Amino acid sequence: MISTLSRIVRRQPVACPAGESVGRAIARMREHSIGSMIVVDEESVPIGILTLRDVVDRVALKPGALEAPIADFMTPHPVTLPVQETAYAAALAMVRHGVRHIVLVDGAKLAGLVSERDLFGLQSTGVRHLSTEIKGAKDLSAINRFGADIRDLACRMIAQGMAVGPLTAFIASLNDLLTERIVELEFAVAGLHRPRWCWVVMGSEGRSEQTLVTDQDNGIIFVPAPGQDVADARAALLPVARRINQALDRAGYRLCPGDIMAGNPKWCLSLDEWRARFASWIDSGSPEALLHGAIFFDLRPLAGELSLGRELRAWLAVHAPANPRFLHQMAGNALANRAPLSWLGGFRTGADGSIDLKLNGATLFVDAARIFSLAYGIDECNTERRLRAAAPPLKLPATELEAWIGAFHYVQGQRLRRQAECLAQGLAPLNRVDPRALNDFDRAVLRGALQRTRALQHRVALDYQA
What string of DSSP letters covers 260-299?
-STTSGGGEEEHHHHHHHHHHHHHH--HHHHHHHHHHTT-
- Residue 432 phi/psi, 5-degree rounding, is -90, 140
- Which among 280, 381, 372, 392 has a CA at the least distance from the CA of 327? 372
Region of residue 98 (left: phi > 0; alpha: psi -120 to 50; beta: else) = left
Give pLDDT tens digits for 199-216.
Answer: 999 999 999 998 888 889
pLDDT exceeds cutoff 50 at 122: no
Q: Count the neighbouring beta carbons within 10 Å of the beta carbon of residue 344.
A: 5
- Which among 91, 255, 116 has a CA at the least distance from the CA of 171? 91
Mean pLDDT of 159-178: 85
**CA–CA dist 248, 264 (Å, integer):** 15
Nearest 5°: CA angle at 298, between 248 and 405? 110
Give pLDDT tens digits for 301-338.
Answer: 999 999 999 999 999 989 888 888 888 999 998 999 99
Predicted local distance difference test score (pLDDT) of residue 121: 53
**CA–CA dist 456, 466 (Å, integer):** 13
pLDDT exceeds cutoff 60 at 15: yes
**CA–CA dist 448, 406 (Å, integer):** 11
Mean pLDDT of 386-398: 95
Note the pTM of the prediction, 2 decimals. 0.75
Higher pLDDT, 361 or 2: 361
pLDDT exceeds cutoff 50 at 124: no
Helical packing angle, 440-464 and 363-375, nearest 10° = 30
Q: Count the neighbouring beta carbons within 10 Å of the beta carbon of residue 88.
A: 19
pLDDT exceeds cutoff 60 at 453: yes
SS3 content of the chain, % helix, strand, coil (to 5): 60, 15, 30
Give pLDDT tens digits for 267-294.
Answer: 999 999 999 999 999 888 777 778 887 8
Higher pLDDT, 431 or 164: 431
Predicted local distance difference test score (pLDDT) of residue 125: 46
pLDDT exceeds cutoff 90 at 171: no
pLDDT exceeds cutoff 90 at 5: no
Predicted local distance difference test score (pLDDT) of residue 3: 65
Mean pLDDT of 356-372: 95
Predicted local distance difference test score (pLDDT) of residue 287: 78
Predicted local distance difference test score (pLDDT) of residue 192: 87
Higher pLDDT, 53 or 441: 441
Query: Lowest mean pLDDT: which of 55-59, 70-74, 345-349?
Result: 55-59
- Please state, for a pLDDT cut of 70, what percent of the chain lies above it: 97
**CA–CA dist 102, 81 (Å, integer):** 7
